[in-house]
A and B are shown apart, each in its own frame.
Chain A
Amino acid sequence: MQWTLSRILRSLLTLLLLASFTFFALSLSADPALQILGPDAQPEIVQAFKERWHLNDSLWQRYVTYIMGIIQLDFGLSYRTGAPAIDIVMTRLPATLALMIPTGIASLLIGIPVGIYAALRQGTRTDRLIMTASVVGFAVPNFLVGILLMYLFSVWLGWLTPSGIISWMSWIMPMITMVSAEAGIFARFTRSAMVEILSHPMLDTSLAGGLNEHQGLRHHVLPNALIPLLTLVGLFAGNLIGGAVITENIFAWPGLGRLLVESVAARDFAVVQIIVLLIGASMILINLLVDLSYGFIDPRIRDTRRISIKRNKVATA
């Protein structure tokens, strides 16, 4: 309980730091009035804009107002339209999730079995081939894969539309673009974790004790390989909201990634801040869940946490 509470407090502090960093980075790097009104706007027009949005207040005053707003779940209005920023963000969130969730599932379903397969054939030509493909998958930038796919499937073959959401086929190219990278990462990680466990003496002991290879794999190798893999899954899942910026831009996907790019360029603070906080919150939440799940998967981690809490209590007593 104490461990969970301390994690939640740390998470809230991380969010506060994130919100503060975003606020200062955006505020100090550009003037939203010039971004929105144009470079040759007359001083009195710029002044009216600043008054309207309280940009003449000191940085600290604005910061306090902003943080107080977040605490009250008031995220402010978009400078560009005057509409509540949260409404603008929420209209774009479903498209991003609709792309990222199937991408994540497909990456896991492809990456993990491929990684296991490669690990079991360690050192063979198949292993090398799979690992080469994995490296190519995540080493080639998404924008290059995306454009190549577009020219193949849209321009030459004429099978797919390259932009936006038209039908279920619109998912094909963005998903291939991202899955090729993510599945490659999962495959490599799974293989590494598996190879490490496969070379552990405990596996020889359990095999000598009468377990067959299949049982050894199921009872010892996979559960032990799951911990590092879960960390990676946590990182990916935490990045569900903000992970598709490049892909969304290439395929003109109407999601949050594209909104983020445009909003940063326009210094539409309220919109940017909500997206950044959403990304941060989802990353923190998923990692909290992953941390909690370690204890369920590996009882030794649970015990270590208990011992560490007891020690702290003794020390403070």
Chain B
Amino acid sequence: MKLKLSTSILALCLSVSAAQAYDLTIAVAHLPNTLDPVMENSNVSQRIIYNLFDTLVKVDYRDGGKLVSGLADSWEIIDAKTIEFTLKKGVHFHDGTEMTAKDILFTFSPLRLGHDNVAIGGSGTVVSKPFIGGIEKVEAIDEYTVRISMKDDDALIIHRFANYPSQIVSKSAFEAAGSYEEFALHIVGTGPYKFSNLTLDDHVIIEKFDNYYGDNKAAADKVTFTVVPEISTRIAGLRAGQFDMITEVTPDHIEEIDKAENASIAGGPILNIRGLVYDSTNEIIGDPRIREALNLAIDRETLAQALYQNHTSVPHGWQMQVFGKMYLADRPIPEFNIEKAQKLLKEAGYNGEEIVYRTQNSYYTSQIETAQILVAMWKKAGLNVKLAVKENWGQVTEDNETRHIFDASFTAYYPDPMGQFWRRFGPTGGWAQNDVYINTEEMIVLGKTLATETDTAIRRDVFTTMLDKFETNPRGAVLHELTQIYGVRKGLTYSPLSTSYMDFTTAGVSVEK
């Protein structure tokens, strides 16, 4: 009886504590300009939009990337080109309207995804094309059933509607907004939080959406993302109790936060590879043997250890474990072999011609330090690489005779090589289209098979061949897995996802009362 009574009191206390409201303040280095997913593809946007929107199918990052029901109750892949979704009933947008087929049609309409939005005040610069540009037709079978057809057979058809940028938005909100830009600035989704305010370069506020349909509700009443450009200020604010969390913690500050009494570190590698891109159309590094030598001269494990200690690792080539059946587990990490590099350079007749490596100061974590270490490693192999620090991407990618090497990152938007390796290096990627390199016909054919074939065994073979060929004629280099490190105040527990998304639902955040 006593036990029962104390259990009841405990349960009562817990329910009271769960009902207690709290707000979260997250200090970030940058904010997005808009929160419409198709308008901005950046990590600063992604950490917010996860809380505002849902996709038809969801990826359960906490369960090995399993696909689970999202806004669709069920789905059926009719053939390699066609998929049909049966929508959940009774799901409401933040503006109070019910989500139905008309919203799915609007979300994937040419008006929103195409350039048509220029006519209604949009910038016409939708960045979603590499992801969902292959949609041919979206039809409403009835109010709660939608059929989507792709232009070509698509091995990733289901993943395209489970990931960025397929978040569903409200058609009614668009109609009420008056212009595309107004709509984008006051975006309406179905997520656990609703949009409240965006002040350019200063803050974004999202608030709990009480009518959220999902199991993982908003953990806080309000989350404020506030811009604090300096890492020292973010850390001071965390330690002083002004912030609940801080983002973009650089490796040299991890120890300071870990040692602090009232803060701790969360996060680690995310589904993104930090790497390099080679301009193989350039005469100096046009010979594939020189580019292979560049790759062989990089001691990646030393680089990762020196800069990130145990917070990151070197991937086994252009792939991640999340690829599941497409992950080639036996493939080793990229080879480090100075003798072989020197031999290749000799064969290629390299005579110390200057190779320019364009980098920036801090677009990526420890960017300049990474660049300096790489230059020293290349020097050991006899490669004369000159570092050119640029102010912006325009200067980095400017197409002239000194564009040889530059920095990049490779997000695995889909758990498949098509969502990472071939999305970036394939013929539809920005670099191929901007003449950074020209893919061989053979690679293009292999890539086509990878994109359309649905037999996993065949796809694995094709991917293996592609990686082998890429190794001897590389367009870029793997360095290490990109990290996303957060500082978290004492009393708050944050369970990070393996992506740039930040999860402020009850699955991601809990507060010690």
How far, in Å, is B457 (CB) from chain A's closest CB? 32
How far, in Å, is A47 (CB) from chain B's closest CB? 9
Query: Knowing A258-B201, A262-B201 touch, does A41 contact B240 (C-beta < 8 A)?
Result: no
How far, in Å, is A111 (CB) from chain B's closest CB? 27
Q: Does B200 contact A (CB under 8 A)?
A: yes
| Residues of chain A contacted by B408 (CB below 8 angstroms) | 39-40
Query: Knowing A48-B124, A52-B123, A258-B201 touch, does A43 contact B434 (C-beta < 8 A)?
Result: yes
Interface segment, A76-84, A283-291, A300-308, A309-317? A76-84
Q: Are B125 and A252 in contact (CB under 8 A)?
A: no
Q: Are A38 and B393 in contact (CB under 8 A)?
A: yes
Binary flags per residue of A150-161, CB closer than 8 Å to B gives 1, else 0: 110011001011
**Closest chain A residue, CB of each to CB of B260:** A155
Instruction: Give complex CA distance A258, B200 in Å.
Output: 11
Binary flags per residue of B426-441, CB closer than 8 Å to A gives 1, else 0: 0011110110000000
- Best-surrounded residue of A45, A160, A161 (most CB of chain B within 10 A): A45
| Contacting residue for A34 out of B33, B393, B431, CB 8 A | B393
Q: Does A129 contact B (CB under 8 A)?
A: no
Instruction: Give complex CA distance A56, B435 in Å.
Output: 20
Q: Are B392 and A30 in contact (CB under 8 A)?
A: yes
Q: Are A81 and B392 in contact (CB under 8 A)?
A: no
Count B-side interface residues using an 8 Å CB cutoff.
54
Q: Does A147 contact B (CB under 8 A)?
A: yes
Q: Are B126 and A80 in contact (CB under 8 A)?
A: no
Q: Are B127 and A38 in contact (CB under 8 A)?
A: yes
Instruction: Give complex CA distance A239, B462 in Å.
Output: 63
Q: Are B118 and A81 in contact (CB under 8 A)?
A: no
Q: Does A64 contact B (CB under 8 A)?
A: no
| Contacting residue for B392 out of A34, A40, A44, A160, CB 8 A | A34
| Residues of chain B contacted by A252 (CB below 8 angstroms) | 27, 226-230, 233
Q: Does B42 contact A (CB under 8 A)?
A: yes
Q: Does B216 contact A (CB under 8 A)?
A: no
Q: Are B232 and A161 in contact (CB under 8 A)?
A: no
Q: Does B34 contact A (CB under 8 A)?
A: yes
Q: Does A29 contact B (CB under 8 A)?
A: yes
| Residues of chain A contacted by B202 (CB below 8 angstroms) | 92, 254, 258
Q: Are B236 and A150 in contact (CB under 8 A)?
A: yes
| Residues of chain A contacted by B424 (CB below 8 angstroms) | 40
**Closest chain A residue, CB of each to CB of B423:** A40
Could you jot down 24 A-B contacts, CB within 8 Å?
A30-B391, A31-B394, A34-B392, A34-B394, A34-B397, A39-B408, A44-B129, A81-B200, A147-B232, A150-B236, A151-B236, A154-B242, A155-B239, A158-B240, A163-B228, A163-B237, A166-B242, A249-B230, A252-B27, A252-B228, A254-B203, A258-B202, A258-B227, A266-B33
| Interface residues in chain B, defined as those with a beta carbon under 8 Å from any beta carbon in chain A | 27, 30, 33-34, 41-42, 115, 118, 121-127, 129-130, 181, 185, 199-203, 226-230, 232-234, 236-237, 239-243, 391-397, 408, 424, 428-431, 433-434
The 3 closest A-B pairs by CB, nearest first: A40-B430, A82-B181, A154-B240
